Amino acid sequence: MAVEIFMPKLGMSMKEGTVVEWLKKKGDKVKKGESIAVISSDKIETDIEAPQDGVLLDILVEQDETVEVGKVIGYIGQEGEQPDDQSNETPQQAMQEVAVSVGTIEPYTAPRHMLRVSPAARKLAREAGIDLSNISGSGPKGRITRADVEKAIRLKQTSLQLGNEKQTIVETSPITTEQKDVTVKPVTGMRKVIAARMFASLQQTAQLTIHMKADVTELLKLQGQIKEALQDEPDVKLTITDFIARATILALCIHKQMNSLYQDGHIHTYDSVHLGIAVALENGLVVPVIPYAEKLSLKEISKKIKELSIRAREGKLSSEEMRGSTFTVTSLGAYGVEFFTPVLNPPEVGILGVGTVTDMPVFVGDAIQKRKILPLSLTFDHQVIDGAPASQFLATIKNYLENPYKILL
């Protein structure tokens, strides 16, 4: 009997999902556990795996279509079989099985015929002409990652160079100038969600950005001292982001107005800090949340940031882990950017942008010294907060960073 493929429920709050891409065509043979489609919801992209061996009998929901959770999007059965409206399972049972199949995270080495491939890796392989069946995945359950494909591309290029092989490109049909110079692709999946939210953010809020510099020379010295003192604890590696997060949390506890959401004409001010940490991915940006961050020590915050960042880059975050933030920190320091204008993550009323640390000559008394300077950019919603209290909040963060011992208290 044909088995229904349902739109899975990836989180408690998920109500609908979008089919980003079908990895198999109608009539293709599939193996149990093989990725057959990519779906997305709330910035999460994940694969749907075949529940059994067979043939993809029918596709009911085409690429870029959005449907409710629990809706049948296709059928798998035996060759020549007709999809049956009846199923041995309830939609809830089937959704649970699909959700389990896309969310399992146990160590596993996939057999050759059961290819598990991240969407970004599949796209890169297709563009580079790489046969995925010849790649051993380094991800969970043998999943092929973008890094695996990039490695295969380098090996292929090296092989071509050593063999002194030449490739000849033959045009089989006329190509217009426009086709040569322009690549057109639809906005789908995570990029589509981000585009909609950023547009809505700028339309619905009165955003203003102010800038300030913090002298983090002493903070970096303290970071080095802690690193040396904790050499016997390799799991504890405090980064400057950890200190910035802790300073921001402490400042939000003092300036509670900044720890607010603006919804339906009402300002919701929170006593607890639910801190969002922006994480850049290959195809977009996600903001995992550290709930009740004011209750955590610097060490616990550091551990939480690292865990969430790893889960985000592996595509393992649930929608619940990206909801409920009251303030966000985002950084472009790793890319050499100094000041920039971060865009609010509504309904939050504030977001802190962090730039790269630079060496600058600074007067200390009458002497000029080389100091480590950190650029900070605060965007806030002027509907809720005025410039003076926003400046006071940013100055409090600066004070914590320039007097790092206060962060440890």
Indicate left, alpha or beta for 336 from its phi (over 0: left) and psi (-120 to 50: alpha): left
Report how far apart, in Å, the C-alpha atoms of 54 and of each of 44, 275, 364 are: 28, 46, 74
Residue in the block written with tokens 């029918």: 58
> Of the candidates 59, 397, 60, which has an alpha carbon nearest to the alpha carbon of residue 253?
397
Would residue 54 be called left, alpha or beta, if left means φ above 0 and alpha means ψ between -120 and 50 degrees?
left
**Dist. CA 79–CA 58, nearest whole Å:** 11
Q: Please state, in angstroms and rounded to a whole number, the distance separating the CA atoms of residues 35 and 115.
A: 7
268 catalytic per annotation: no
Q: How far is CA 308 from CA 56, 116, 267, 275, 316, in A?
A: 36, 22, 28, 12, 9
* 47 CB neighbour count, 10 Å cutoff: 22
Distance CA 257, CA 154 (A): 51
CA dist 212 and 293 (Å) reads 24
Q: Which of 28, 113, 359, 382 is catalytic?
A: 382
Give the Cα separation of 313 and 279 in Å (integer).
8
Tell me, yes or no, if 382 is annotated catalytic.
yes
Q: Which among 28, 113, 268, 386 is annotated as catalytic?
A: 386
**C-alpha separations of 305 from 281, 288, 308, 312 in Å:** 15, 9, 5, 10
Distance of CA 278 to CAs 70, 306, 407, Å? 30, 12, 21
- For residue 313, give the nearest of 289, 286, 331 by alpha carbon: 286
Give the residue numbers annotated as catalytic, written as ranges: 382, 386
